[in-house]
Chain A
């Protein structure tokens, strides 16, 4: 069960393939976006609680580390794509201050709405824009942002390479992209433990708390189907990013990839 029945889809390299992965299933490419939308429509309301529960709060530290590596400063323009309920956006909003701006973009309106309400409740209003957008075709002019972040979003995108190309286009020269995403544990033991947790504990937790075991089964599967650290680095380079590197967090369960546009 824990063994991955498929290898990551070849669609990363071949945009011409007609099918793509949705967890371990192969689905028609044109269907993936709406299937992913269903998942996030279904989890939106309980998303934050589940995040804390599933990761034992560690996702906050991964996100904090991402912000540490962002170099965000007063006056910066930042795009938080697949920003969901806005954890990164909240902190960026204070860091860039009234002279800067943060755009929280997500393909899913339910997630955006939960995010917007949460940030407004915290009094974060003046320098945040909310945009419903697909990472593969960002609706922003070239060279618009100093920083783009994407946390736990890339694996849900149908054509990941298209998303990276699109992000490259909207980044200003000198700007940087940070992608925080589940990755490949660096040791065999951790990998086994992690498999057990994600395929046995996680869906049950999802069923119990969010009454939605299926979405969390998808989560576990989509993580396994995501390209590993080196493959993703290669995809960054293919999009044109330079000085690309990554840092494994919590033994590679998560990796933070970084690349610059010069």
Chain B
């Protein structure tokens, strides 16, 4: 079985499913119609082509990158990057920095890369509504509230953590943390642990409730 075809079929289904859940995505797709966005991600052995129309068709290409670049038209853009840089591409303002740092090679139309990035970055999906279609409204609401609380807790934690680390770097503090700071950090970790434990119990209850339904 051609594995690359299975790969592209899965990605294509996922992308179009997500786009169909966001009613505004059609407007962002429109300016991309007729364009092609090709991604070479090391270590994948093939390139991935996104072709835009009123939906996204995903193809894989065995063509070497050089040959593909030679075939680019004014409606094409080709990037090469690595798996760990990929998530950074969500933020269009990072593109220039990544190119300068040689973490991203871009050939063809930069505008297309920006539009593709916007297409996915601005995805606004009402997951709760879509889950409710398959379960019931109350359950969907509960699951999402619990999920959001957990997400917020984690967000607060990572923010605090990065502030602490950031301060340490910027202010060139001593590497050995102050005793008080360590105590404070420990308190925060315990607080987080309690939050997570509470969320876990809540989820467990919801799961039981869902099983009963």
Contacts and interface: CB of A to CB of B under 8 A. Distances in A.
Pairing of A with B: yes
A99 B33 CA distance: 12
Contact of B1 (A73, A95, A97, A249): A249
A188 interface: no
Contacts of A62: 2, 5
B1 to A, nearest CB: 5
Interface stretch (B54-62, B90-98, B178-186): B54-62
B92 to A, nearest CB: 24
B51 A61 contact: no
B115 interface: no
B138 interface: no
A61 B61 CA distance: 14
Please give me the 9 A-B residue pairs with the lowest Cβ-Cβ distance, nearest first: A64-B5, A65-B2, A61-B5, A94-B53, A65-B5, A97-B34, A74-B34, A68-B59, A68-B60
A74 B76 CA distance: 10
A205 interface: no
B59 A58 contact: no
A109 interface: no
Interface string B37-77: 00000000000000101110101111100000000010100
Interface centre among B9, B51, B62 (most CB of A within 10 A): B51
Given A73-B36, A94-B57, A68 B51 contact: no
Contacts of B53: 94-95, 97
B85 to A, nearest CB: 25
Size bracket, chain B contacts: 20 to 34
Interface of A: 58, 60-62, 64-65, 67-69, 71, 73-74, 91, 94-95, 97-99, 249-250
B75 A61 contact: no
A88 to B, nearest CB: 13
Interface string B1-23: 11011101100000000000000
A249 B2 contact: yes
Contacts of A64: 2, 5, 8-9
A interface secondary structure, majority: helix
Nearest to A247: B2
B1 A67 contact: no
Given A65-B4, A74-B75, A94 B60 contact: no
Contacts of B75: 74
A259 to B, nearest CB: 17
A61 B6 contact: yes
Contact of B61 (A68, A74, A95, A98): A68
Contacts of B62: 68-69
Nearest to A70: B59
B20 to A, nearest CB: 14
Contacts of A97: 33-34, 53
A36 to B, nearest CB: 28
Given A68-B8, A69-B62, A249-B2, 16 more contacts: A61-B1, A61-B2, A61-B5, A61-B9, A62-B2, A62-B5, A64-B8, A65-B2, A68-B59, A73-B73, A74-B36, A74-B73, A94-B55, A97-B53, A99-B34, A249-B1
A62 B2 CA distance: 7
A11 B62 CA distance: 36
B57 A91 contact: yes
A190 B75 CA distance: 45
B69 to A, nearest CB: 14
A51 to B, nearest CB: 16
A65 B75 CA distance: 24
Interface string B83-114: 00000000000000000000000000000000
A67 B59 contact: yes
Nearest to A61: B5
A95 B1 CA distance: 24
A94 B34 CA distance: 9
Nearest to B56: A94
A94 B51 contact: yes
Contacts of A74: 34, 36, 73, 75
A61 B9 CA distance: 8
